[in-house]
Amino acid sequence: MTPISSFKPIDDFGGVPAPLPKIGMGQWFTERALRDGKRKALTFEGETWTYADMLVRIDKMAGALLAGGVQVGTRVGYLGFNHPMFFVTLFACSKIGAIFVPLNFRLAGPEFEYIINDAGVHTLIVDNDHIPVIEALREKLHCSRYLCAHGASADASRWPEATHAMAEALSVREAHQPHQDEVAIIMYTSGTTGRPKGAMLTVGNFWWNHVSELVMLDIRPDDVLLTFAPIFHIGALNVLTLTTFLKGAHIVLHRSFDPGQALRDIARYQVTTIFVVPAMLLFISQHPDFASADTSSVRFIMCGGAPCPEPLLQIMDQRGILVQQGYGLTETAAMATALSSEWAVSKIGSVGVSPLLTDVRIVAGDGRVVTQPQERGEVCVRGMNVTRGYWNQPEATRQAISDDHWFRTGDVGYFDEQGFYYICDRVKDMIITGGENVYPAEVESVLYGHPAVAEVAVVGAPDPQWGEAVVAVVALKPGSTLTLEDIRDFTSERLARYKVPKQLRIVEALPRNPTGKILKYKLREMVP
């Protein structure tokens, strides 16, 4: 038998190579709109656009970007709350081969300055709410063009309306044909421990994530997806949302998260699927309207971003709401693992298994690849969905991605006897007390079951005797009281003694980033 390595590509034998597949976002959206133009694509604040409506705007935006000097590889930044123009800009960039740079609207001026200049943003598109912060540092930015995303700005000479530029532009009909390794989006990760890093996500990263979602999740052409998480984040953008567009289904977009409005729109639009982070699911479950809300249309909720406390999963299960957990990061273009609906109840708390196109392994602290169930270590991911690396940061890329393409996530996890993965915590969040490892998520999951607890986070504090002490930071439900003795009594029946909190801090609310993740570095600053 001839060895595989000796086979030659077809063109070496005089054949004709296959054309590039239409996997660019601008390409497949165009194809979808041409086939199903009359289908509902996007609803925002009571206005609904069909796929044909969106395509007209996308083609005009692509023309406006070209007219302003944007070319293949040029970076285009977008800053603003959730809005249809975000998607118009994203697909328009893809259509002409530009690189889209979504910006976290919760950042401060110096952070915007760093990211915009680091990415080399040529055209910056900003909504009215955020023009003042950009205007304050505009002289420090190196952008060539500024546009107001939607509506009229206070100073049209400095912030021309994007819609006016679109009206004057020629429509772009033919989409750029990218190679799958071309960078499509630069998405900057949180800078909690230093400067933000721009993860370069390719055309292939997004496409193969779509394929994985279609294999692993029950996404249907007649779905109605409710999206309220900020879409500058990979979870909100590329878990369900873009794949729902690919299927030709309907997306109901919210400007921001409001649990009461979410419950009302579930009933109004007969929502079938939702993406949430645990904090959002918690706030929905605690809303006064939750008990009486009509959620019968919801087929499943996809939860990611952090481990979801089991008491919260059980509350949803009691309501007949199927919650599927998934796991991923910006660097994995979202989905590294997913739990299919058939396992959602029996494997409650698990983030599932890796998709067909992605490999996951657990690496112990001594560098061993874990082969036995239940042993904890760092989660590493490899596959077509994994980033090429960090923009302008080759050293950070080398530290994060091995020579054989394994990405180190910084998360602690394990797998069970059936190969289902569980995420415990961040490596850096692990508490070592008296030589024992404590994973905060485990303690938090127990504390969420206490009737007085609305929100909780667990961090470590320096301790002269134990090295670190376990500290519970709690926001209480209205009218509730809580003492350290209450906490210790409650947890001592459910946790090993060394995991029981030694300190308690009561706060009004936990500090969170725009995606709902708790900012534990801020909590550590609060704990002496």
Q: In order of start, what are the domains of the chain with their CATH numbers? A: 51-178 (3.40.50.980), 201-427 (3.40.50.12780), 430-526 (3.30.300.30)
| Residue 194 tokens, joined | 């230093």
pLDDT of residue 426: 75
pLDDT of residue 237: 97
pLDDT of residue 192: 44
pLDDT tens readout for residues 18-55: 888 999 999 999 999 999 999 999 999 999 999 999 99
- Residue 441 pLDDT class (50, 70, 90 cuts): confident
pLDDT tens readout for residues 65-94: 999 999 999 999 999 999 999 999 999 999
Nearest to 504 by CA among 524, 520, 488, 522: 488
Taking residues 429-442, report their average pLDDT: 79
Q: 389 pLDDT exceeds 70? A: yes
What ranges in 424-517 are assigned the alpha helix state H?
440-447, 484-492
Q: Which residues contact 127 (CB under 8 A, 6 or more apart)?
A: 79, 80, 81, 83, 85, 148, 149, 150, 151
If you compute the radius of gyration of the chain from its CA atoms, what whole number of angstroms results?
Answer: 24
Taking all residues of the chain, what is their mean pLDDT, rounded to a whole number?
Answer: 91
- Name the residue type at position 478: P
pLDDT of residue 2: 41
In this structure, are residues 273 and 224 in contact, taking their beta carbons and an 8 Å threshold?
yes
pLDDT of residue 190: 66
- Name the residue type at position 325: Q
Angle at 441 between CA 107 and CA 482, to 5 degrees: 95
Taking residues 162-169, report their average pLDDT: 97
Q: 3 pLDDT exceeds 50? A: no
pLDDT tens readout for residues 398-432: 999 999 999 999 888 999 999 999 988 777 787 87
In this structure, are residues 134 and 154 in contact, taking their beta carbons and an 8 Å threshold?
no
Please count the residues of the chain.
Answer: 528
pLDDT of residue 11: 65
pLDDT tens readout for residues 108-154: 888 899 999 999 999 999 999 999 999 999 999 999 999 999 998 88
- Residue 498 pLDDT class (50, 70, 90 cuts): confident
Q: 387 pLDDT exceeds 80? A: yes
pLDDT tens readout for residues 186-244: 999 864 446 789 999 999 999 999 999 999 999 999 999 999 999 999 999 999 999 99
Q: Hey, is 356 helix, strand or coil?
A: coil
pLDDT of residue 278: 86
Q: What is the rounded distance in angstroms from the CA atom of residue 354 to the CA atom of residue 404?
A: 18
In this structure, are residues 172 and 59 in contact, taking their beta carbons and an 8 Å threshold?
yes
| Residue 43 tokens, joined | 């609803």
In this structure, are residues 204 and 180 in contact, taking their beta carbons and an 8 Å threshold?
yes
pLDDT of residue 340: 82
- Residue 6 pLDDT class (50, 70, 90 cuts): low
* pTM, 2 dp: 0.84
Q: 310 pLDDT exceeds 90? A: no
Nearest to 187 by CA among 88, 85, 118: 118
Block residue for tokens 């700005």: 153
pLDDT tens readout for residues 265-292: 999 999 999 999 888 998 999 999 999 9
Q: Which of 91-95, 263-267, 491-495, 500-504 has the lowest mean pLDDT?
A: 491-495
pLDDT tens readout for residues 329-356: 999 999 999 988 788 878 888 899 999 8
pLDDT of residue 394: 95
Would you list the DSSP string of 117-149?
Answer: HHHTEEEEEE-TTTHHHHHHHGGG---SEEEES
| Residue 18 tokens, joined | 């296959």
Taking residues 431-455, report their average pLDDT: 86
Bridge partners (DSSP) listed for residue 415 = 421
pLDDT of residue 521: 77
